Amino acid sequence: MDGTEPGPSREESPHVPKEFVIFAGTANPELAAAIAADLGMLLGACAIDRFPDGETSIQLQESVRRKEVFLVQSLSPPANEHFVELLALADACRRAAAARITAVVPYMGYARSDKRHGRREPIMGRMVADVLEAVGVHHVVTVDLHAPQIEGFFRIPVDSLTAVPHLSIYLREETSPGVVVVAPDAGAFRMATEYAHRLNGTVAVLHKRRKSGTGTQVTHLVGDVAGRACLIVDDMISTGGTLASAIEALLTAGARPELTIAATHGLLLAGARQKLIHEAVRKVVITDTIAGGPKDWPRLQSISIAPVIAGALKRLVEHRSLGDLY
């Protein structure tokens, strides 16, 4: 004996039924491990690899027969690879006689493709829903869908969790009393209203016109921001173009140069950081639904969403309502 203490095992955990197992894809294994740790267990053993031609190889290394399985995989860049991994994991579990398969997709990619802007375009959000169902997924758990109507694309149950209460706890210490919560476009109004309720603030909305796939222009502001600190909220930070336009519009309208940005999903694609490095921006707050955020950006703060997801999974396994999660 070397005197080392054995780590927690799924069989020994008092918190989790033996028939419950979590597997992680390669999109965000750190978040998956944190979710499992919050539940007092280890991740299920599986091998994910690539064949020389780039095809995905999956092998489950423990039995899932008659077990409830949770597959944790964000559809973050590279979205296509991560999506195929999730499908392969689900198919492997189905063929290995898992009792129930739940896809835990903290960031649901393709959700921006929720309608056709012309007659010859796919609705990728619906296609993703159809394919997940086809490979045997029984249930989807996600966080802050870009478009709420995506839930209606599925015929299986979907639980869309929200990071707003979790982030609001942190933001109470980071924002001034009476902060103005700003929705950078009409689509973020509902989220801004929820933040304002939790932070005892007011709401302002920016209306924008899209100039291109990556560029937008603010046309007008509804709400009073003059002389006040602002919190700009959205479901994601992608290229940063929308938020950069919001920053300039708020400062032009007389907002105090004390801006905070909060978003659930930090995609932070190339160029996003440069757009958000502004002397008026004190902090950018995101969650860890997407892995790989920059480590050398002092004003960027990542808050783990693992406790929220773990709380939801615990309630699902125990056949309890998610109504008391927040």
| In the block, residue with structure tokens 């965000």 | 28
The answer to whether the beta carbons of residues 39 and 316 sit under 8 Å apart is no
Q: Which of 208, 211, 283, 314 is catalytic?
A: 208
Sorted by sequence, the CB contacts under 8 Å of residue 209 that are 6+ apart come out as 216, 217, 219
Contact 170, 303 (CB under 8 A): yes
Q: Is 208 a catalytic residue?
A: yes
Give me 135's structure tokens. 């490979």
**Sheet arrangement for strand 158-161:** 20-24, 68-72, 100-105, 139-143, 158-161
Q: How far apart are CA 80 and CA 94, in angstroms?
A: 21
| CA dihedral for 308, 232, 151, 85, sign (positive or negative) | negative
Q: How far apart are CA 189 and CA 233, in angstroms?
A: 9
- In sign, the C-alpha dihedral spanning 84, 90, 92, 95 is negative
Active site (catalytic) residues: 208
